[in-house]
Amino acid sequence: MQQSIDTYDFKGKKAIIRVDFNVPLDASFAVTDDTRIRAAVPTIKKVLAGGGAVILMSHLGRPKGVTDKFSLKHIIATVEKLIGTKVQFADDCQKAENEAAALQPGQVLLLENLRFYAEEEGKARGLAEDASDEEKAAAKKAIKESQKEFVKKLASYADCYINDAFGTAHRAHGSTALIAEYFPNDKMFGYIMENELKAIDSVLKNSEKPFTAILGGSKVSTKITIIESLMEKVDNLILGGGMTYTFKAALGGSVGDSICEKDQFETALRILEVAKQKGVNVVLATDALCGDAFSDDCKKQVCPADSIPAGWEGMDIGPDTMVAFAEVIKNSKTILWNGPVGVFEMPSFSKGSRAVAEAIVEATKNGAYSLIGGGDSVACINQFGMADKVSYVSTGGGALLEYMEGLELPGVAAIRK
């Protein structure tokens, strides 16, 4: 049975919390962006304030075994500072029974990186490249077996389980999904998970119209499923970024050296056809800021988006398109933004994404609900210092997109079922 973190009685209980402490570290192992740790603080504090003890578990990076570089010991000081409590550390997540047993209400224990064990992801490691299918199948079976023991051990440390790692909710890993089985009546979402699901549901299920989705990024091929599922829900679909040129070329335009996926022409034309049938207003760029090389200091010129000369590539939307996109956005009541509309990492090509962000901020001020999600658009809105001027900034990239596509996320299902 799913519990609520707001009503659960944590008094005298130990809560094992799956957090997402996969934070960037610099060369001397200092945390360079503590957003993810900061986001988990309300959940941790709620358990402590309720008289419980906290066991934190997370992954960091993609280690292929025990690697000092990926040790969670590097983040202890940051966690302590942010939650204002001393943090004990168990340097092996599978040998923490004594530390867990000794934990008193109000205390916090952080487990070492879960991915030091292949069992966390349940993927066999160290197979020879030329392993036969039988060997692969046997290795897979073996890891699935030992995964059960791995998860059981983690579960044995605590009385209840909280999943607060939305960013990994689309993975059926030991700590994100399988462990929930051991807490049939004592499992719940943390505040990050609750807020993420509420935000996405309010966009997908209760959206006030007009609903506009702005999709950018580099390629059509990675966005097809989300485009197709959004087509059922939106009134306006603004398509920007590198994928613009696949559409323009499919329609017969010339796009110079812009990103162009010839194998996606049919898909692009199909998307436009379906949009027409469903009455969805697809808004594509009419002009592009082009460069003669993929660099910030290249030569630049504005060209019609379907008439770009050879040797030039479209790297941002042009001035007319900025006005057109902004107009649609400002007249919307629900807005979803995923993916920058230009190469925003280069200052010369960030103006289009900034114009989109500014229009979203203005619409939000006028009462629209705006959700920004997907790694790069979040980096973008942070870079512009506008994250606190939109309704919600999602922490989940892949998880957000999969949830929006209507897929059931294992991390969500494990709590709800």
Read off the DSSP letter of residue 208: P
Chain residues in the site for ligand AMP (CB under 6 A):
216-219, 222, 241-242, 259, 314-315, 339-340, 342-345, 374, 376
**Closest listed residue to residue 190, CA positions, set 380, 36, 76, 370:** 36
DSSP class of residue 90 equals E
Q: Which is nearer to ligand AMP, 119 or 376 (CB)?
A: 376
Question: What is the distance between the alpha carbons of residues 98 and 12, in angstroms, rounded to a whole number?
Answer: 17
Q: Is 50 marked active-site? A: no
Helices and strands, counts by H and E, the chain: 13, 18
Closest to ligand AMP by CB, 75 vs 259, is: 259
Nearer to ligand AMP, 86 or 299 (CB): 299
Q: Which residue is nearest to ligand AMP (CB)?
A: 217
Alpha helical stretches, state H, 240-306: 244-250, 265-278
CB of residue 342 to ligand AMP, shortest distance in Å: 5
Residue 196 structure tokens: 């993420």
The candidate with the shortest Cα–Cα distance to 314, out of 304, 323, 329, is: 304
Chain position carrying tokens 């207003």: 281
Residue type at 354 in one-letter notation:
R
Tell me how far, at minimum, the Cβ of 335 lies from ligand AMP, in Å: 17
Out of 18, 36, 46, 223, which one is annotated catalytic?
Answer: 36
User: DSSP H helical segments within 265-372, as ranges?
Assistant: 265-278, 319-330, 351-365
Tokens 């009462």, located at residue: 367
Report yes or no: 254 and 292 within 8 Å, Cβ to Cβ: no
Residue type, 323: V
Judged by beta carbon, residue 63 or residue 342, the one nearer ligand AMP is: 342
Torsion sign (Cα): 175, 33, 404, 196: positive
Catalytic: which of 61, 106, 253, 398?
398
- In whole angstroms, how close is the CB of 217 to ligand AMP at the nearest point? 3
Cα–Cα distances in angstroms (integers) from residue 208 to residues 182, 202, 286, 333, in the given order: 40, 9, 28, 6
- The C-alpha atoms of residue 232 and residue 400 are separated, in whole angstroms, by 17
Least distance between ligand AMP and beta carbon 31 (Å): 23
**By C-beta, is 374 or 410 nearer to ligand AMP?**
374
75 vs 386, beta carbon nearer ligand AMP = 386
Tell me how far apart the alpha carbons of residues 271 and 227 are, in angstroms, rounded to a whole number.
Answer: 8
Rounded Cα–Cα distance for residues 70 and 202 (Å): 37
Helix (H) or strand (E) holding 381: helix 375-383
Catalytic residue among 50, 61, 106, 375: 375
100: left (phi over 0), alpha (psi -120 to 50) or beta: alpha
CB of 58 to ligand AMP, least distance (A): 24
| C-beta of 122 vs 314, nearer to ligand AMP | 314
The distance of closest approach from Cβ of residue 247 to ligand AMP in the complex, given in angstroms and rounded to an integer, is 12
- The answer to whether 21 and 75 are in contact (CB under 8 A) is yes
Among residues 174 and 291, whose Cβ is nearest to ligand AMP? Answer: 291
The catalytically annotated residue of 13, 45, 219, 333 is: 219
* 62 annotated active-site: no
Other CB atoms within 10 A of residue 103 CB: 20
**Is 375 part of the annotated catalytic residue set?**
yes
| Residues involved in catalysis | 36, 219, 375, 398
